[in-house]
């Protein structure tokens, strides 16, 4: 099968129902604790108003709502339904992180791995401008890039299985770089969905951003942020994890 023949972005549309099974909310607890520590360290221990751009199913946010009042934005209404169910006290808005304007400011803007869906430097800069518009001077931006050049050996293949109720999902994820001259990787998915009535096989494809660290820093600085990096090792998954932190200098 030619990869170009595989539909793109099904996980955010007709296959969005798989997301809680594919990436269960409970697996985000350790990671979210890192975000919570940074929020308290940089903004203080009180309850904060935050905006999450690209909230997806709301899995990371679900571990932060006990300490934050949140507004959540995602371009996929199918994915946003999961977050509405998981985070009932959160305001949810369908919108594009590159251009959404809520008309309000917040103490922090959070962007989890949905930032990977941004594949050009121009669009990445637009996201950081969106974040800046929603912050007062001293406000905090936390961004979680998934890949950097040099941080991943390509091609890479992963296989994961999760079960819930009478459904078992095994998905195979193949990551490669079909064009080393651009700023994106391609991820090919095969989903094996086992139910009582039999096995269902689905294919999906997505492109993810692949920017060098200096690009992240420069675009954040251009949008008005002082930039720092914070690295963590997640014990449960064994993943080394980097967050970019931006303190907004003000308009």
pLDDT for 10-60, tens place per residue? 999 999 999 999 999 999 999 999 999 999 999 999 999 999 999 999 999
pLDDT (tens digit per residue) in 200-217: 999 999 999 999 999 999
Domains along the chain with CATH numbers: 10-148+210-248 (3.40.50.150), 150-209 (2.20.130.10)
Side-by-side strand order, sheet with 156-164? 156-164, 167-176, 184-195, 198-209
The whole-angstrom separation of Cα 110 and Cα 51 is: 6
Chain centroid, CA 239 distance in Å? 16
pLDDT (tens digit per residue) in 58-89: 999 999 999 999 999 999 999 999 999 999 99
pLDDT score, position 189 = 98
pLDDT score, position 153 = 92
The whole-angstrom separation of Cα 82 and Cα 17 is: 8
The whole-angstrom separation of Cα 47 and Cα 67 is: 5
Long-range contacts, stretch 115-119, CB < 8 angstroms, 24+ apart? 115/54, 115/143, 115/144, 115/145, 115/146, 115/209, 116/145, 116/146, 116/147, 116/208, 116/209, 117/54, 117/206, 117/208, 117/209, 118/209, 119/183, 119/184, 119/207, 119/208, 119/209
pLDDT score, position 224 = 98
At 105 the three-state DSSP class reads coil
**How high does pLDDT run on average in the chain?**
95
CA distances from 187 to 40, 153, 182 (A): 35, 14, 15
Q: Kindly report the number of other CB atoms within 10 A of residue 99's CB atom.
A: 11
Please, which pLDDT band fits residue 120 given cuts at 50, 70 and 90?
A: very high
The whole-angstrom separation of Cα 248 and Cα 132 is: 7
The whole-angstrom separation of Cα 51 and Cα 114 is: 14
CB 25 within 8 A of CB 56: no
pLDDT of residue 239 exceeding 80, the answer is no
The DSSP output letter for 231 is: E
pLDDT of residue 141 exceeding 90, the answer is yes
pLDDT of residue 5 exceeding 90, the answer is no
Percent of the chain at pLDDT exceeding 70: 100
Cα end-to-end span (Å), the chain: 50
Mean pLDDT value of segment 177-192: 96
Q: Which residue is it, tokens 């571990």?
A: 63
pLDDT of residue 2 exceeding 90, the answer is no
């Amino acid at each position: 099968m030619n990869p170009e023949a595989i539909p793109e972005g099904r996980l955010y549309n007709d296959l969005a129902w798989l997301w809680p099974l594919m990436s269960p909310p409970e697996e985000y607890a350790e990671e979210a604790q890192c975000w919570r520590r940074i929020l308290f360290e940089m903004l203080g221990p009180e309850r904060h108003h935050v905006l999450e751009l690209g909230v997806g199913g709301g899995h990371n946010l679900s571990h932060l709502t006990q300490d934050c009042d949140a507004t959540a934005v995602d371009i996929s209404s199918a994915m946003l339904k999961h977050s509405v169910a998981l985070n009932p006290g959160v305001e949810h808005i369908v919108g594009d992180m590159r251009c959404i304007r809520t008309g309000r400011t917040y103490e922090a803007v959070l962007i989890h791995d949905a930032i990977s869906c941004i594949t050009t430097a121009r669009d990445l800069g637009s996201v950081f401008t969106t974040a800046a518009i929603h912050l007062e001077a001293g406000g905090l931006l936390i961004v979680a890039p998934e890949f950097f050049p040099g941080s991943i050996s390509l091609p890479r293949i992963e296989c994961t299985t999760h079960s819930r109720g009478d459904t078992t999902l095994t998905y195979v994820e193949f990551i490669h770089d079909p064009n080393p001259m651009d700023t994106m990787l391609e991820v090919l998915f095969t989903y094996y969905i086992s139910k009582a009535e039999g096995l269902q096989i689905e294919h999906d494809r997505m492109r993810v951003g692949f920017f060098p660290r200096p690009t992240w820093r420069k675009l954040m600085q251009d949008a008005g942020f002082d930039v720092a990096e914070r690295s963590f090792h997640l014990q449960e998954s064994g993943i080394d994890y980097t967050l970019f932190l931006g303190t907004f200098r003000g308009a």
